Chains A and B, each alone.
Chain A
Amino acid sequence: MTSDVAAAKPGIPRNPDAETLDPFHGVDFSKLERSLHRPRTFMSMLWTVIVSAMTLFALIPLFSVLWLLVWRGGRKLSIAAFTQLPPAPLEQSGGFGNAIVGTLAICGMALLISLPIGLLSAIFLAQAKPDNRLASSVRFAGKVLTGFPSILAGVFAYGVVVMATGGYSALAGAVALSILMLPTILLTSEDAIRMVPERMKEAAIGMGATDTQTVWMVLLPAAVPRILTGVMLAIARGAGETAPLLFTALFSSYWLLWHGHVKLMQPTASLAVLIYNFAGMPFANQVELAWAAALVLVVMVLIANLIGQSLANRQVQ
């Protein structure tokens, strides 16, 4: 046996006429080799390099932002930052404790408004037949509202709450944020409910469950992790919004809880507005506090995001 290709493979008899039957006879095999001298191959490589470089380049700002937050914001972070009130100009030290409380309170109120509305209408949308006009219009409105400029939510809350009640308040801020949170909650909850396998729904109905029983006993329990993911995303978005709070909740240098009263109808501080106000001030102390507040805000937002993500991932497994 000679050691040619055919003989190397057991079971394939050696063909004496291999020379004449060889389909590659006369082909220059160097042409099949990979070579960067060939324009097509070279262009392909070039594009790969360009796209990879651009993607990595797009991530530089992220790392820059995170690094600066840790470096500049971390320096100023202390117990005082969490427990003290914002300093007056030229005053040293101080903190943003009231702004953290304010952000949490405004977001919480916004959630109280948007969650019931979003969830109940999501249930309706998920159960509606494809040709239901109300459902498809509301779904479309939700998609359009996802891109609704946050400043306009502020303008709306200004018109509806501030002008009606005669003053800036946490409530006005919450109304503005709830409009931004609503579409996220609505659309993710609808998706979550729709993702529950049709078979489970069929099983419940086949046993004589009413629609309401099907929703509460089968659909919602299975959809809860995904719904919570949407809620966490909505909270993260709401907490980070500044523009709609600028002229609804405004700002305050006092605690939300003042002499035993919760001042929901008074101007209220929030981290986002504090960052905006202090960033533009010509005082080093305020600018440093703005960085520290930004670090706290980003950490809060990221935690909300991570909780949402991990809930979503758990669902997948």
Chain B
Amino acid sequence: MPTAEIASQEPVSTNGKVDPSVVMDCNIENLYYGSFKAVRDTRIPVQKNAITAFIGPSGCGKSTVLRCMNRMNDLVRGFRLEGHVQFRGQDIYGPKIDPVAVRRFIGMVFQQPNPFATSVYNNVAFGLRLNNFKGNKAAKVEEALKSADLWDEVKDKLNESGLSLSGGQQQRLCIARAIATEPEVLLLDEPCSALDPVATRSIEELMKQLKARFAIAIVTHNLQQAQRVSDKTGFLYVDTSEGSRTGYLVEFGDSNQIFHDPKQKETQQYIKGEFS
């Protein structure tokens, strides 16, 4: 864990140098879908060996910000970003950057489990094949499944369809698939929203283990969950003052501080509303 705490409004250290523990620095000035401004003024650093949570009301742009971080939004027509997203000091929206390459280092797990219609094994080996991995695939698959806490449940049915697993198992399979290639950053968009409390707990435990190896960013609707697992929290809110619904970052800081001593009025109200 990084010992030197970063001031909540100053995610990047003051003297202009990049904090070495910040793997990704996401700085969105304005983000548009066509003519609709979806997000503005949002700056979130994602740190190594930590879990960064995004919270906020529905439609405030959490998924948008997250998808922005591995250029999934490039698939949406009319998407436009003003600002920059830096990954290890490099702007991933730079003119020479290949979005495909970006996504190989910044993995993503989606809200709905989305295994491929092939065997469990092939699902996990998918990323290895993508990257032309020459080493021992079976060992890597096993390792990934173990890290995703799924190995014991599926070790006897590696050749069965990934779709035959339960919802929680499918989601862990998707996590195993994402971590098999050992990306640097793992983005999780409401990974537990389709799961029951027990499966949710096991994924939370999993995330805590995984943060030793990855930088993790997670979107969640569940404030208790954010409080339980995250180290840093960003609160996004919707600004309706200009006639449209534009999301923006209200407050970012240590999870402890956000949940127990929020500085901003909106955050206070949101947290209070959710907890009382």
Q: Which residues of A contact B (CB under 8 A)?
A: 129, 197, 199-200, 202-210, 213, 217-218, 221-222
Contact = CB atoms under 8 A, between A and B. Distances in A.
- Majority DSSP secondary structure for residues of B touching A: helix
Given A213-B130, A221-B117, A206 B103 contact: yes
Interface in B151-190: 174, 177-178, 181
Interface in B48-67: none
Sorted nearest first, the 6 A-B pairs with minimum C-beta distance are A208-B104, A208-B103, A199-B114, A206-B108, A203-B114, A222-B117
A87 to B, nearest CB: 53
Given A205-B75, A206-B70, A207-B177, A200 B117 contact: yes
B72 interface: yes
Nearest to A129: B77
A217 B128 CA distance: 12
21 contacts: A129-B77, A199-B110, A199-B114, A200-B115, A202-B110, A203-B114, A204-B126, A206-B103, A207-B103, A207-B108, A207-B126, A207-B130, A207-B178, A208-B100, A208-B101, A208-B105, A208-B127, A209-B130, A213-B130, A218-B116, A221-B117
Given A208-B103, A209-B100, A213-B130, A203 B174 contact: yes
A210 B100 contact: yes
Contacts of B104: 207-208
B107 interface: yes
Interface string B240-275: 000000000000000000000000000000000000
B102 interface: yes
A210 B130 CA distance: 9
Contact of B114 (A129, A202, A210, A213): A202
Contacts of A218: 116
Contacts of A204: 116, 126
Contacts of A200: 114-117
A217 B130 CA distance: 9
B127 A206 contact: no
Interface of B: 70, 72, 75, 77, 100-105, 107-108, 110, 112, 114-118, 126-127, 129-130, 174, 177-178, 181
A207 B127 contact: yes
A138 to B, nearest CB: 20
- Majority DSSP secondary structure for residues of A touching B: helix
Contacts of B103: 205-208
Nearest to A130: B77
Nearest to A197: B114
Nearest to B103: A208
Contacts of A217: 126, 129-130
Nearest to A198: B114
Contact of A207 (B112, B115, B118, B181): B181
Contacts of A208: 100-105, 127, 130
Given A206-B110, A222-B117, 13 more contacts: A197-B114, A199-B112, A200-B114, A202-B110, A203-B110, A204-B116, A207-B107, A207-B126, A207-B130, A207-B178, A208-B104, A208-B105, A217-B130
Q: Of residues A207, A209, A221, which shows the largest number of chain B Cβ atoms within 10 Å of its Cβ?
A: A207
A9 B72 CA distance: 61
A213 B100 CA distance: 11
B206 to A, nearest CB: 18
A157 to B, nearest CB: 40
A203 B130 contact: no
Nearest to B108: A206
Nearest to A222: B117
Contacts of B75: 202, 205
A177 to B, nearest CB: 33
Contacts of B116: 200, 203-204, 218, 222
B130 to A, nearest CB: 5
Contacts of B126: 204, 207, 217
Contacts of A129: 77
Contacts of A222: 116-117
Contacts of A221: 117-118
A198 B116 CA distance: 11
A313 B237 CA distance: 48
Contacts of B127: 207-208
A112 to B, nearest CB: 29
Contacts of A213: 130
A4 to B, nearest CB: 49
B211 to A, nearest CB: 20
A202 to B, nearest CB: 7
A240 B77 CA distance: 45
A199 B72 CA distance: 12
Contacts of A197: 114
A18 to B, nearest CB: 50
Contacts of B129: 217
